[in-house]
Structures are given as C-alpha cells and as structure tokens.
Structure 1
C-alpha cells in the first residue's frame, strides 16, 4: 500500500488483516518509496523484498504522486503486470479517466468510516485473492 497518511495505512492494514487470507502487507509513504520497494533500491536495497500480488495506490502523495508512480510502473515491462487498485479520496472524473488510461485495474474512493473501509477491504480481498487469477511472478531469465 502506498499512502502518505499513517492513519489510512493503519486502518487499511487492520481491515486487510481481518478480511483477507493471511498475507504480508507492506506500507510505503509515497510513490518514490513504492518504486524503491519494487526496484529494491534505497532503503530496500539490501532487504529481502517480494513482488506484491496487489498494489493499493493513493493519488495524492508527496515527492512522487500516484499518477506518476502508476505511469512508471505500467511503462516497465517487468512491473506492468502488477495489479494496481487506486484507493484515494479523489472523486474527480479526470483522475478516474486518467488512471484507467494509464492501466489501473480498479479505482475506489476511500470510505470515510472504519466500518465502510472494513467492508471495502473484505470485498477487495475476496475479489483479488479468491476470485481472479493473478499472473505468477515471471522468470524469463
């Protein structure tokens, strides 16, 4: 999950823990840190990181926003297969169209209450981890 709001990170991680199959959730604070995580660079350079099965991406973040991170991920042949769900406070039509044009898999406006967020995470977890078939990590070389 890439989100600069620690409260949103905590609530989403708790909701995912209560609603999804057991999984490891990593939270980063902005698009730049997300890319560092995906490319194993910066503070993640010497750490054992795994490719995520799903990225939850906020749009409004410092340094590198969600649109910029989405554009970079979807233009990289090694990363473009990763499913990305925008989870943001934005309801702007322009943001919805732009993210879908860039290859986002879903766009969700963040629920306001914890109960609504829990319900959204339950549906999201069931769909992405129990219903759809995700590509396995490629090993082309």
Structure 2
C-alpha cells in the first residue's frame, strides 16, 4: 500500500492541475472559432483548462515551454487548425510528432479544409484525428462536445512523459 501511495503522490506532484482537469491547447487564429470552442467546453461535462494560442510559432513555444510559456502545463490534448499564420499547422504537427517528449500528446486537426490532400497529409504526419469544422455555430459546438466526450470519457490518454 505504501508503494501505491508513493506513486500517486509522485503523479500528482508532476502536474499542477487536479487529475480530473484536462489541459487542452487550442491552436486557432480565428477569434469566432476560439469563442465557439470555449463555449462548447464550458457547456461540456469535462473539467478543463483551455489554453489558446493564435499561430503555429506560439504553439511550439507553448509546447516547448519557452519564452512567455515557461510555466504552462503540458497539454493532454491539442486541437490544431492547419491554416495558421507564421508556422502552419502541418509544420507544427511535423515538429511535435518528431519530438520524443511530445509525440505522445494526441493531436486533433480541427480545420475548415475539406481537401483530401490535407486529410491525407495530416494522418501521414501522425494526427490522431481530422475533423472538418462545421459552418453552422450550433453544429460546431456539437462537434467539439462530441470529441470532448470521446477523448476524455472513452479514450485512455497516455500519462505525462511517456515516450513511444
């Protein structure tokens, strides 16, 4: 029993949030989509801290905990738009999945692109899912809530620091 308690305290000390709070990084440059995503998570049942960055360069700084992001938590899940200023979503995905310390973080591409080549390229770069943003705001919120429920209620996410 002592060993089990030891392990539990080691796990909780690694992460500043409570075990039930999901850390989500949204990489999105469209303020309307950011607002809808926040609304969807607010209506959902999963406790979460939604961190938002508006371009790929900021996303990489957040993930590597550099500059203004030195004290941010490691995300449990990343929602990534492909069409981003500075560093685009494909470049972020490629760098993320090429990093042994970060590659186990699930990445859901959430983009307006329906292009087959974007879908194929995202999966080639090891995205965990590809979702096309619905144009209708209510459908957009429903889509976010559906994958929130799936990823945080059904799927077992990798523990922090696991390397594949």
In the alignment, which residue of structure 2 is the partner of 1:67? 90
Runs of 4+ in structure 1 over 4 Å off:
none
1:139 & 1:123 partners in 2: Cα distance? Answer: 26
1:139 & 1:68 partners in 2: Cα distance? Answer: 23
Contact 1:58 1:66 in 2 (8 A): yes
Residue 58 of structure 2 aligns to a residue whose secondary structure is helix
Deviation at 1:7, TM superposition (A): 1.3
1:62 & 1:114 partners in 2: Cα distance? Answer: 23
Moved more, 33-42 or 14-23: 14-23
> Which of the two has higher C-alpha Rg?
2
User: What does residue range 8-87 of structure 1 map to in structure 2 within 5 Å?
Assistant: 8-45=33-70, 48-87=71-110
Deviation at 1:107, TM superposition (A): 0.4
Contact 1:67 1:99 in 2 (8 A): yes
2:45 & 2:99 partners in 1: Cα distance? Answer: 28
Aligned pair 1:93/2:116, yes or no?
A: yes
Contact 2:104 2:162 in 1 (8 A): no
Runs of 5+ in structure 1 lacking a partner? none
- Alpha-carbon displacement from aligned partner over 1:84-105 (angstroms, at most 9, x marks no partner): 0000010000000000001000
In the alignment, which residue of structure 2 is the partner of 1:134? 157
Deviation at 1:42, TM superposition (A): 2.1
Aligned pair 1:117/2:163, yes or no?
A: no
Contact 2:29 2:54 in 1 (8 A): yes
Deviation at 1:139, TM superposition (A): 7.0
- Alpha-carbon displacement from aligned partner over 1:11-60 (angstroms, at most 9, x marks no partner): 11111121241110001001110110011112213xx2111111000000
More RCO (CA 8 Å, sep 6+): 1
Q: How many residues are matched?
A: 138
Looking at secondary structure, tell me which structure has more strand per residue. 2
